[in-house]
Structure formats: structure tokens, C-alpha cells
Amino acid sequence: MDERETFIRRTLVGALVVGASGGLVLLLFGRAGWAIAFGLGAAISLGNFHLITRAVGRLADPNPAQASRHLWKGALFRFAAVGIVLFLAVAVLQVNILALLAGLVITQLGMIGYWLWRSVRATN
């Protein structure tokens, strides 16, 4: 496995751990609905990151027009998919919005923290 794949895999595993541990803590405090919302937020964040990595991987296409088209299609699909899932979560499942946002934000912050840590470590 090359360095890029290792980086992506560790980012996904770390974000999964953040989502699972946050959901578990909420379950232990008796907030099952919040745990579901937090886990859903983390899952949306993970799915979004996975789709981003796929889109960036396609940028290596030798044809720049083809790569640009993949990037735009991927971004539109990603935004639509996230929007639909968020709408369904709030309108149909009626999950706690704050817990959902916490799952999204805390997972993203965990990924960003890992990226910063790797960047600082790489420059030393």
C-alpha cells in the first residue's frame, strides 16, 4: 500500500473511531436518539470524504478535460447526496439536529487535526 492509500485509510479509520466513540458515549448517557444522529453525521462526513478522495484520484487522468468533468460531476453528486441524506434525516427520521451537526463537525475536525499532525510531522 502506498503512502496516499495509507493516509486515506488512516483518516477514514480515525473518523470512524470518532463517530463510534461519540455515539457510544451518548448511548452511555441514555441519549439513544442523539447517538443515532451523531453517528449519522459522522457517517455523512465519512461518505463525503470518501467521495472526495475518489474525485481527486480521477484528477490524474491524462486528459485535463476529462479530469475536470469528473471533478464537477463528483462535486454535484456529493452535494446532492449529502443534501438528500440530511433532508431525510431531519424531515423523515426527525433526528436531533445539534447531535447531527456535532457528528459532522467533530468528525471533520478530527480529520483536519490528523492532516495537520501529519503535515507537521512530515516537515520535521
Which one-letter DSSP state was computed for residue 61?
A: -
pLDDT of res. 38: 95
Percent of the chain with pLDDT over 90: 37
Return the SS3 of 3. helix
Domain ranges of the chain: 3-123
Q: What is the pLDDT of residues 38-97, one digit of tens each?
A: 999 999 998 888 888 887 777 776 777 777 777 778 788 888 988 998 899 889 889 999
pLDDT at residue 23, as a whole number: 94
